Amino acid sequence: MSEAMDTENRNSYKQSLKATSLFGGVQIFNILIQIIRSKFAAVLLGPEGMGVMGLLNSTITMISSFTNCGLGTSAVRNIAEANGANDTKRIALIISVFRRLVWITGLTGALICLVSASLLSQVTFGNTDFTFAFIILSFSVLLMQLTSGQNALMQGMRKYRYLAKANVVGNAVGLIFIIPLYYFWKIDAIVPVLLFSNALIFILSYIYARKIKIEKEEITITDIKVEGRDMLKMGVLISLQGMLAILASYFIRIFISRMGSIDDVGLFNAGFTIVNTYVGLVFTAMATDYYPRLSAIASDNDSFVRAINQQAEISLLLLAPIIIAFIAYIRVAVVVLYSTKFIPTEGMMYWAMAAMFFKAMAWSMSYGLLAKGDSKVYFWNEFITVCYGLIFNMIGYYYWGLIGLGISSFIKYGFYFLQLWIICRIKCNLKFTRSIM
């Protein structure tokens, strides 16, 4: 019995490491692309340009999050379940319904952005100078949702290599065209770059998703209602949670621009881009492989708890050298990746990078809530976290400036970890192993 369990544990570790290796490799490549892209953007646009880009991008991301109904996450579970059962007709039915829902939600988001362009410009920048920019970027909202649909299809069908290739090729090709745009148009290139990037990623995700052979299935309004209701049930709560997180990100940028300056928004955006990008290989692997794998064993509580422990341990082992090395050479990294103008982000990033230890542990548990189907508990947990996270950020920046934002991130993820540990302890009797603690 013990030998069989040891074999199962080894296989589980191998599967986790295999997924992490694949998407970790993709992420490392993307990091190299991001280094070059960020360096050129920082030098050619400066902090102000980075601030404008951050505000525009966070606004359209917020609209997309509000209107996508969480389909990119909830549909993965439905598709993977049907794929695991080798039910080709059900796969075809789910995907047919899913594609229609993606178009409906994508067009809705684009229309909202288009109609409210003037209002968005006024709220975001305090004037209507960016009205036309938001009109153009309404197409990006549609493209973002269509891309999310293609990615969900590849993830649900476990075509991870297609997903990885679309990501790598998109970033590489995009870089070739984006740098000249920044060079010749400077700050005026921001809107074309955002639109072009989203269009390119959609085209590539579409090309690779088309390689998956899916039977054609005629569907009725009843099919859309029945299958759509199932996907939307969890998806809406996930979407609300995502929207709240984006909304909080949007408000803190507005708060910084009002209490400080657009330059500080650019510094904040640049600093957290570095933090999130360079630890992203761990979290990308978790989002891609860990969630569907955990869902498959949700009914077996012992295996479920064991999987959470394994993922937490793997995440910490992978993160530790990345975080320690980055903290040791953070100033050099800032100058190399951006320029000396971005050195004020140094203190903020010390704290934000240290917070990633708490985040890794917390994410291992938060996916457990979704895998168990506790979408309401998941939503309220995230809602509470977003609320006190925003408050911590506002207090931190008001009293201590940029470094206060780093400290608030550390405190937020510390609370987030404790909060989730208590919930999972009650829900599934979660106990962390000695190797983690």
Q: What is the pLDDT of residues 132-188, one digit of tens each?
A: 999 999 999 999 999 999 999 998 887 888 988 898 899 899 999 999 999 999 899
- Is residue 312 assigned to a domain? yes
Which two structure tokens, joined as six digits, stand for 107? Answer: 């067009």
| pLDDT band at residue 285 under the 50/70/90 scheme | low
Do the beta carbons of residue 361 and residue 380 sit within 8 Å?
Answer: no
Is residue 434 in some structural domain? no
- pLDDT of 8 > 70? The answer is no
- The verdict on residue 433 lying in a domain is no
Residue 436 domain-assigned (yes or no): no
In a domain, 222, yes or no: yes
* Residue 140 located in a structural domain: yes
| Percent of the chain surpassing pLDDT 90 | 40
pLDDT of residue 16: 67
Each residue's pLDDT tens digit, 221-279: 888 888 888 788 888 888 888 778 878 988 999 999 999 988 899 899 888 888 887 78
Q: Is the dihedral of CA 323, 359, 63, 236 positive or negative?
A: positive
Give the Cα separation of 344 and 324 in Å (integer): 20
pLDDT at 3: 56
In the numeric block, which tokens belong to residue 105? 């939600």
**Residue 435: inside a domain:** no
Phi and psi angles of residue 30, each rounded to the nearest 5 degrees, phi first: -65, -35
**Mean pLDDT, residues 380-394:** 95
Arithmetic mean of pLDDT, 11-17: 66
Reported confidence tier of residue 435, pLDDT bands at 50, 70, 90: low
| pLDDT digit string, tens, across residues 311-362 | 888 888 888 888 888 888 888 888 887 878 888 999 999 999 999 999 989 9
Q: Which residue from 212, 70, 211, 207 is spatially nearest to 148, judged by alpha carbons?
A: 70
Domain count, the chain: 1
pLDDT of residue 367: 87
Residue 134 included in any domain: yes
What are the C-alpha distances in Å from 152 to residues 132, 160, 343? Answer: 31, 11, 38
For 190-345, where are the alpha helices, taking DSSP H only? 190-209, 221-259, 262-278, 280-285, 291-296, 301-328, 330-337
Domain that holds residue 128: 2-428
- What's the confidence (pLDDT) of residue 31? 76
